[in-house]
Every structure is written in structure tokens, then in C-alpha cells.
Amino acid sequence: MAQDKISEAQKREMPEPSEGSRPIPWAVIVIVAAAFLSAVAYLWMTPQSNDPSLGDHRIAADFAVAKSSSTGAVDGAQIYAAQCVACHQANGAGLPGVFPPLAESEWVLGKPEVAARIVLHGVTGPLKVKGATYNGQMPTFKDKLSDKEIAAVLTHVRSSFGNKADKVDEALVKKERAATQSHDKPWNGDAELDSMR
């Protein structure tokens, strides 16, 4: 490219910009002063709404989540709140016509082995609970929860919402898991479960 062609655009420009030295206009100084004073006033007048003495005095250490260990006790209520409450509700009553209740349910209060199998594999298809037929889908928990956790949540369900049935221990769940190992789909409602009762 020829030199003159390159400089064509540059040649026709105005000079490089520079700065004059006008003083700052009074109006600007007044606005700056007003902003400063209003900022001071705002700081002074804004109530600090969060008085530290109102807090619950917890410190960072209180929020530490306990490490889950294989020896520690598992809280069935906590598992219920995390895994079950969305369908069966906090009071265990379920939703009429949609989700079956756990409170006073013959499945919960019946054989613990069946209850364990239901939690392990879940249910699809029509299922009769307390005289009403539900046709929903309960997810499979065998990969999500350990034997100990399933035992804890079953124990919780069997002793809450007005239910009074005895505890379920880890060994039982382990036995049922082994017994139904070949089963890879959710139970087909009454068709499969009725015979187990």
C-alpha cells in the first residue's frame, strides 16, 4: 500500500484533543456540596434496623453441618422432611385422590417387610389405601437411601401421625433389599403388593 493512501484518513483529521483550563462552574460545586450534605444527612437519619442484640446469638460454629457417619444415629424425621413430605404432607395425610395418606394406613401399620419393600422400590399403578384407590407414582429409594436411613424413616412414619407400630431395624431392610434384588421396576400397585400382605 502506498504511503499517501495510508495516511489519507489520518491527514484529514482534526488535531489530537487537548484540555482547556476553565474553572469548575459554580453550579457543579453547589451540586457536589448538596450531594455531600444529603449523603451525610442520609447516614445520620437512617435507622440501623439490625440491632445485633436482637439476633439469636448463634455463631458460625452453630451452623456447621454434622458429618454423616456410618455409626451415628440417623434422624428419620429429617429424612421424611427431605424425601416424603412433598407428597405425603407434613401431617402424613397425603392429598385426597392424589397422594395416599400414611396416617393410619394399613400398609404402614401392616408388615414392616412390605413397608420396606414399598420404600425400596416405589409403586406405580392403582393402589387401595384406607378404602380409596390411588393411581400415582411413588419413586424408588433403593439407590437414594441406605438401609439404615430407610429403617429410620419407616420407624418415624410408624410412630407419628397417630400411628403406633413397633420400630423397624436396619437388618430387616437389608434382608428385604437382598430378597428383592432382582426386582428393577416399581411395584405394580395392588396387583403385586396385595399378595405380600
Partner 1 sequence: MDTVTILLLTFILSVTGLFIFIWSLRKNLFDDNPAAARVIFSEGEIGRVEEPALTPGQLQSLQDTVGAHKMPDDPAKVARMQAELASRIQADRSTSLITFVFLSCAIVWLVFASTAGLISSIKLHQPDFLTSQAWMTFGRMRTLHLNAVAYGWCPMAAFGIAIWTIPRLLKTELVGGRFALLGCMLWNAGLIAGLGSIAAGFNSGLEWLEIPWQISILLVIGGALIGLPLVYTLQNRRVDHLYVSVWYMGAALFWFPVLYLVAKIPGLHFGVEQATMNWWYGHNVLGLYYTPIALGTIYYFLPKIIGRPIQSYNLSLLGFWALAFFYGQVGGHHLIGGPVPGWLVTLSIVQSIMMVVPVIAFSVNQHLTMRGHFKTLVYSPTLRFIVLGGMMYTLSSLQGSVEALRSVNTITHFTHFTVAHAHLGLYGFFSLVMFGAIYFVMPRVMSWEWPYPRLIALHFWLIVTGFAIYFVGLSIGGWLQGLDMLDPAKPFMDSVRVTIPYLEARSVGGSIMTLGHLVFAFHFVSMAFRNGPARIGPALFHRRTAPTVALKGA
Residue ranges that bind partner 1, judged by CB under 8 A: 1, 5-25, 27-28, 31-32, 35-36, 38-40, 42-44, 46, 48-50
Residue whose CB is less far from partner 1, 23 or 131: 23
Residue whose CB is less far from partner 1, 17 or 131: 17
As measured in angstroms, the least distance from the Cβ of 36 to partner 1 is 6
Residue whose CB is less far from partner 1, 14 or 59: 14
CB 153 within 8 A of CB 84: yes
As measured in angstroms, the least distance from the Cβ of 51 to partner 1 is 9
Q: Give, rounded to a whole angstrom, the gap between the first and last alpha carbons of the chain.
A: 93
What is the largest distance, in Å, between two alpha-carbon atoms of the chain? 99
The contacts of residue 80 (CB under 8 Å, 6+ apart) are 153, 156, 157, 160
As measured in angstroms, the least distance from the Cβ of 45 to partner 1 is 9
User: What is the C-alpha separation between 169 and 152, in angstroms, rounded?
Assistant: 8
As measured in angstroms, the least distance from the Cβ of 33 to partner 1 is 10
Residue whose CB is less far from partner 1, 43 or 73: 43
197 burial via Cβ count (<10 Å: 0-12, 13-18, 19+) = exposed
